[in-house]
Amino acid sequence: MNTITVSEFRGHMAKTFDRIDAGEQIVIRRNKRMYTVVPLQEEGLTITPELQKRIDEARKAFAEGKCIECRTPEELEKLFDSL
């Protein structure tokens, strides 16, 4: 993993994208925050009928209260620990 500044990214954007496409992980540093750029797969941009069905089922389950709700990071951690 390599870290570059926003200025470096801006000045070498095409080259940086080529490196990412080649599988390299690039972290872009801006002030005290860090960002990554991840290529999307084309199939990830389309909601298939199967995916839409799963989304609809999840929304229905949520509306019916058939879900586990975590409101804090601690609640989420407790849930993960219980699995």
pLDDT classification of 19: cutoffs 50, 70, 90: very high
Domain that holds residue 8: 2-36
Examine the domain organization and report whether 19 and 47 are in the same domain. no
In this prediction, residue 20 carries a pLDDT of 93
Reported as a single tens digit per residue, the pLDDT across 22-54 is: 999 999 999 989 999 888 777 667 888 998 999
Examine the domain organization and report whether 46 and 71 are in the same domain. yes
Examine the domain organization and report whether 32 and 53 are in the same domain. no
Number of alpha helices (DSSP H) and beta strands (DSSP E) in the chain: 4, 3
* Side-chain-facing half-sphere of 32: CA atoms under 13 Å: 0
* Residue among 24, 23, 29 at smallest CA distance from 6: 29
Examine the domain organization and report whether 25 and 47 are in the same domain. no
In this prediction, residue 44 carries a pLDDT of 65
